[in-house]
């Protein structure tokens, strides 16, 4: 194994435009820090921003992002990387650097993994000790990063890519299952087209509707209107923080925005107590609720005080509860009642007063039976991806420093 400076492996290292473009509802996507995850640049989901053709042309004057280019973040946070895939027309957002890789010197896929390795990330983290208010990596420092080079870099990259590909596939299946469960929820409990006694969509087939003055809308006959407090309650049970792990300790920091669930915690409390949550409970970050950090637990564990734990009064309605309080309507309602300006928090009593149409228990049970297999599969894929991530992170330094070889 030898080492080379990053500038030796790149034909060009290009800084991004230092301006915020005028965003559009659609158009050409802009790569931002949110779209980097040490794998291929991800422009799926809700964290995608667009510009028009004129703005795109302005932002590619220095360089056109092409397939096989590597993108690395300069700050917030530093050192996260992404590889531009085939067929992606895009331009660069702020705080990013584009790396044009010399293919005769280094495989782009290998460079992606090398930059994500602990060896290179340690160099990047040292920048934090320089005393700047906002940690950022300048171009000169970036050019001088030492990159470990192994002889069989293509084989190393292929192995790591195969792991990343499986993780990505799992993520897509999870997203599809969650989208399906949410679509069914919307049909049944928002549009009221749940199956009637003949298996036909209730409202579309002429099912009887009754106007409700509280909700200012029609609801199915036989349904009642209640509050969130009628179907759930906050959990206040405490447990010791001792024995909690990165996988079952939940804080606002390891909850993912836009209903993204959780990631392993990078911090574990060593003393004190945490709120004791159980499988099927719904956890909601109460700091800046507009971030929409929410997760339905598939395990037991503990969470910090800034994470609220909802428990359904009827265990058969846990999934229905999750989709009810993960809706945009609920988050808008919570945000309207927050307290504080710099770090707004939701008002618990305000949440419990949230008014909703409540269906019969039989319909809740039918929904639960329908989506329960999806929830089980989603939890299984999450666990598999966590194991694959741990395997990749264990292999990466061994492969980079020559302690492990591929036959």
> What Cα–Cα distance (Å) separates residue 329 from each residue in 195, 208, 336?
24, 25, 11
Contacts of 155 (CB under 8 A, 6+ apart): 406
Q: Is residue 406 part of a domain?
A: no
Asked if 312 and 231 count as a contact pair (C-beta separation under 8 A), the reply is: yes
pLDDT band with cut points at 50, 70 and 90 for residue 130 = low
Do strands 81-83 and 39-40 pair parallel, antiparallel, or not at all (unpaired)? Answer: parallel
Query: Looking at the domain assignment, is residue 399 inside a domain?
Result: no
- 112 shares its domain with 193: no
Residue 402 lies in a domain: no
pLDDT of res. 316: 74
Q: How many domains does the chain have?
A: 2
326 shares its domain with 201: yes
pLDDT digits (tens, 9 = 90+) for 171-208: 899 989 999 999 999 999 999 999 999 999 999 999 99
What is the band of 131 on the pLDDT scale with cuts at 50, 70, 90?
A: very low
Looking at per-residue confidence, does 189 or 258 come out higher? 189
Same domain, 228 and 356: yes
Does residue 301 lie in a domain region?
yes
235 and 300 belong to one structural domain: yes
Mean predicted confidence (pLDDT) in 353-377: 94
- What is the distance between the alpha carbons of residues 387 and 99, in angstroms, rounded to a whole number? 30
Burial 34-69 (b: 16+ CB within 10 A, else e): bbbbbbbbbbeeeebbbbeeebbeebbeebebeebb
Least confident among 59-68, 71-80, 139-148, 291-300:
71-80
Claim to verify: residue 188 and residue 143 sit in the same structural domain: no
What local confidence, expressed as pLDDT, does residue 134 receive? 55
The domain boundary residue, chosen from 134, 149, 164: 149
Does residue 119 lie within any of the structural domains?
yes
CATH number reported for the structural domain that contains residue 17 in this entry = 3.90.220.20
Whether 62 maps to a domain, the answer reads yes
With respect to residue 17, please indicate whether it lies within any of the assigned structural domains: yes
The parent domain of residue 323 ranges over 175-383
| Token code pair at residue 365 | 């049970």
Tell me the torsion sign for CA atoms 235, 239, 243, 249: positive
The CA distance from 295 to 259, in Å, is 7
Residues 308 and 232 in one domain: yes
- Summarised one tens digit per residue, pLDDT across range 264-275 is 888 899 899 999
- Residues 241 and 305 grouped into a single domain: yes
The arithmetic mean of pLDDT across residues 293-301, rounded, is 95
**Do 259 and 373 belong together in one domain?**
yes
Question: Considering the chain, what is the average pLDDT of its residues?
Answer: 91
Residues 183 and 323 occupy one common structural domain: yes
pLDDT at 341 over 90: no
What does the radius of gyration of the chain's CA atoms come to, in whole angstroms? 24
Distance CA 262, CA 248 (A): 10
Nearest by Cα to 10 from 59, 70, 55:
70
pLDDT band at 342 (very low <50, low <70, confident <90, very high): confident
Name the band, by pLDDT with cuts 50, 70 and 90, for residue 46: low
Which pLDDT score is estimated for 10? 97
The pLDDT-based confidence of 6 (bands split at 50, 70, 90) is very high
The string of pLDDT tens digits covering residues 367-388 is: 999 999 998 999 899 889 989 9
209 and 124 assigned to the same domain: no
CA 335 to chain centre: 20
pTM of the model: 0.79
Domain co-membership, 242 together with 360:
yes
88 in any annotated domain: yes
Do 30 and 138 share a domain, yes or no?
yes
Q: How confident is the model at residue 61 (pLDDT cuts 50, 70, 90)?
A: very high
Query: 202-211, 355-364, 396-405: which range is least confident on average?
Result: 396-405
């Amino acid at each position: 194994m030898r080492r080379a400076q990053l500038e030796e492996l790149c034909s060009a290292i290009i800084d991004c435009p230092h301006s915020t473009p005028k965003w559009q509802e659609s158009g050409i996507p802009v790569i931002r820090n949110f779209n980097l995850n040490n794998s291929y640049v991800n422009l799926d989901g809700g964290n995608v921003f667009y510009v028009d053709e004129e703005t795109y042309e302005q932002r590619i004057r220095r360089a056109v992002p092409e397939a096989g280019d590597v993108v690395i973040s300069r700050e917030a946070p530093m050192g996260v990387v992404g590889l531009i895939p085939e067929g992606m027309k895009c331009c660069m957002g702020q705080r990013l650097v584009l790396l044009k890789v010399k293919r005769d010197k280094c495989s782009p896929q290998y460079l992606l993994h090398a930059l994500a390795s602990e060896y290179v990330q340690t160099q990047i983290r040292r920048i934090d000790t320089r005393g700047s208010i906002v940690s950022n990596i300048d171009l000169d420092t970036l050019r001088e990063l030492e990159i470990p080079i192994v002889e069989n870099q293509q084989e190393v990259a292929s192995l790591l890519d195969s792991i990343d590909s499986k993780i990505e596939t799992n993520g897509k299946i999870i997203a599809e299952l969650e989208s399906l469960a949410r679509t069914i929820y919307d049909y049944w409990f928002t549009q009221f087209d749940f199956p009637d006694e003949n298996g036909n969509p209730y409202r579309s087939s002429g099912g009887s509707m009754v106007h409700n003055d509280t909700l200012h809308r029609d609801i199915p006959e036989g349904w009642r209107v209640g509050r969130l407090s009628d179907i759930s309650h906050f959990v206040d049970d405490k447990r010791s923080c001792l024995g909690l792990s990165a996988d079952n300790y939940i804080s606002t920091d390891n909850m993912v925005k836009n209903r993204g669930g959780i990631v392993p915690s990078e911090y574990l409390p060593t003393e004190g107590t945490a709120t004791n949550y159980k499988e099927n409970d719904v956890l909601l970050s109460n700091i800046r609720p507009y971030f929409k950090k929410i997760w339905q637990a598939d395990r037991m564990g503990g969470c910090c005080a800034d994470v609220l734990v909802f428990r359904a009064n009827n265990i058969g309605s846990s999934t229905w509860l999750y989709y009810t309080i993960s809706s945009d309507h609920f988050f808008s309602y919570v945000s309207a009642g927050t307290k504080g300006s710099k770090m707004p928090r939701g008002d618990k009593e305000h949440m419990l007063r949230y008014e909703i149409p409540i269906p019969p228990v039989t319909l809740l049970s039918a929904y639960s039976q329908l989506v329960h297999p999806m929830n089980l599969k989603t939890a299984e894929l999450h666990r598999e991806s966590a194991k694959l991530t741990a395997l990749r992170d264990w292999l990466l330094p061994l492969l980079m420093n020559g302690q492990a070889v591929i036959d």
